[in-house]
Amino acid sequence: MKLSCKASKFEPEDFISSMPDNVITHILDRLPLQEAVRTGILSRKWRFKWSLLSQLIFDDKFRAYLSVKYDRNDLGRVISRLLLHLQGVITKFVLCYYPINVEDISHWILFLSRKGLKNLTIQKSYGHEQPLKLPTHLFSCLELKHLKLEACCFDPPTSFHGFPNLLSLELCQVQFDSRKFGDLCPALEMLKMTSPYRTSKVKPSEVGKLANLKILSLFMCNLGNTSSGTIFEIVSFLPNLKELDLDFINCKLTEGGTKERCPSTFPCIKTLKLSTIDLGNGAMLSFAFEMIRSFPNLQTLEITASEHGIDPTPGICFPEVDYNTTGSLQLGSVVLRRLKCVENEPNPYMEQKPETNPLPQSVHDNLFIANTLINIGLRTDGIIDRRFRDLVDPKIPANPKPVEGVSSYDVSIDPCWFRVFVPDATTHNLPVIVYYHGGGFAFYGPDSGPFDGLCRRFASKIQAIVVSVNYRLIPEYRYPTQYEDGFNVLKFLDDKKNHKTLPKNADLSRCFVFGDSAGGNLAHHVCIKASQYKFQHIKVIGLVALQPFFGGEQRATSELSAENRLGLHLNQTDFYWNVFQPIAGDEKWDKDNEVINVSGPRAVDLSGLDFPATLVVIGGRDILEDWQRKYCVWLKNSGKEVYMEEYEYMFHGFYTFPELAEATHVLSLVRDFVYKQIKIKTLVHSRL
């Protein structure tokens, strides 16, 4: 008798496995390499899907991941094994070459030269000083379009006639023979030399041979001739140049060529960036004015002063420049840095808030993939299938060895646990940050890659002990489980017998509660309970809410705005709130209850509570921004100290992307808030 097995109608359909190979490759290429390989455990169909990878990134993050399980000298063996399993073309290869045998690198480059390689990056790892002599097989990679080299010796053989398809070249601390530099890359459109140190000088005449250049970035000291006229000579040979970026560090500009006006103008150049300008150097200022005058169609101008030129003399004027001949410029954007009394730098002691730039394509890709996998897992019956979302949620084990200057370890407290991040600091009395992660109460944990990295950066930047809480998730555990878990961690830390779980220099009287998204909601309610509870040792003196997850019955304008739908969508917030509420019926449980609409009609009265000073971070492309603004107004009207910082073009969760300048700025913002509150607390105590 033949038995047949029918798939259950409740089993979710596997949409991803049935996708074409090129689509699966596109998805795999956007995952961290270790997570792409881990897809082999999903099912029999996925066992070798990872071999479709076309992009391999072996950077310091990958090496740090491997160091937990393998000896650091095993990296070369791991790379060799991975390469042997790949089936198709390999379009991108990124390698941090320490500590790897040079012969291994030579074999890999030979292998890649036969795989249609188009994008190659070779850079040194932290702590490695010796330059790498590039293998001759590199010069067989004739399909290369993008090449980035750091701390290398670039010495092509005499028989090499150049990279015919190369479009971009970035050199950092690279030693090369500049005599034939211009003949090696006839199609080059972008040249960037990103370090003034340990880099060979390039002849201006060789740069002038790159007639297709559209973007040129140079350190003036890397040119054989530092006369200002040299730049005009180079530009005159580059008819397609649109962006010019010059750095004057370690450059003693001579005045040759500045007293005589350049006879030509260059209408193609749209962007000019001048860095490390010495405002006390007349030759440099005259040169800058002359360049601006010579680029009549300039749209973007950025000038960064050198450190010792930070305070220019008011009204300074140089007779070499004829201001009446500058004409009307088409400038649409002007950025001035390190200048006192300049509007776009209100606080000289804080890192500058970054100007707005388009989001990198990699960020768009990661958001799209994450949202797609989340939506696949949100089922109409209220169940969450986390299998596919876990593909882009790499789990990072605790590491007692410092990574980026911060070590970590886990502490279990039934029924949850937390991870402690400890900076390499000898300072006594470090503040303690209790952190609640985001994820709609449904995803992530302290061991998730984005939040392990974020807490590590907080610990390093602020110099604080960070306690990242793993609260239980919905829908398996509904309200009020998350709030009970969050507050129980504070009570655990307050108990003197548990103080040994923290480093000896942890100061619980300087305690801060942090939270992002759903964790920001959780952090708010934990602070309410903390202000009503008599702790023996803990004193919560600050709350940081990063894009906190609030809501209400009536849709906010930001929730209905199409341009804001980046990073978090309405279907997701509705799902989270629906499965968050208690199963037991409650007539008052709607989105206007005090848990969700914290500043709504049933809000908790804070007027009599010692609620801590609060910093709220808002993103202008977050669908929750209106609820967050309302929260700030409510805190202020309740007589509480509140600060709000908005990043106009940022999406929900942007702070977990360390490659964004805005994410770096958040670290500085939070650090300043923490130490301001510590200073206020110390001052108050000294007066008692």
Q: Which of 113, 125, 517, 599 is catalytic?
A: 517
Residue 171 to residue 153: CA distance in whole angstroms: 11
Longest dimension (CA), the chain: 103
280 φ, ψ (degrees, to nearest 5):
-95, 0
Find all residues with CB under 8 Å of 395, minimum gap 6, and list them.
445, 447, 448, 449
Which residue from 152, 56, 52 is spatially nearest to 98, judged by alpha carbons?
152
- What single letter denotes the amino acid at residue 461? K
CA 539 to chain centre: 32
Which of 437, 525, 652, 665 does the annotation list as catalytic?
652
Determine the Cα–Cα distance for residues 658 and 404; give it in Å rounded to an integer: 13
Instruction: Give me 543's structure tokens.
Output: 């709350």
Please tell me which residue in 468, 622, 626, 665 is annotated as part of the active site.
Answer: 622
| Rounded CA separation 49/392 (Å) | 16
Query: How deeply is 255 buried, as exposed, middle or buried, from its count of CB atoms within 10 A (0-12, 13-18, 19+)?
Result: middle
Best CA proximity match to 31, nearest among 71, 65, 67: 65
665 is an active site residue: no
Q: Is the dihedral of CA 71, 75, 77, 79 positive or negative?
A: positive
How, if at all, do strands 175-176 and 152-154 pair?
A: parallel
Order of strands, sheet of 642-647, starting from the edge strand that comes earlier in the sequence: 406-413, 416-423, 465-470, 430-436, 506-516, 540-546, 613-619, 642-647
As a whole number of angstroms, the distance between CA 36 and CA 28 comes to 5
Q: Which residues contact 192 (CB under 8 A, 6 or more apart)?
A: 168, 169, 170, 171, 215, 216, 217, 245
Query: Concatenated DSSP letters for 592-616?
Result: TSTTTSTTSTT----TTS-PPEEEE
Cβ–Cβ < 8 Å for 512, 432: yes
Which amino acid makes up residue 37? V
Does the active-site annotation cover 622? yes
Count of C-beta atoms within a 10 Å radius of residue 85: 11
Q: Is 195 a catalytic residue?
A: no
Catalytic residues: 517, 622, 652
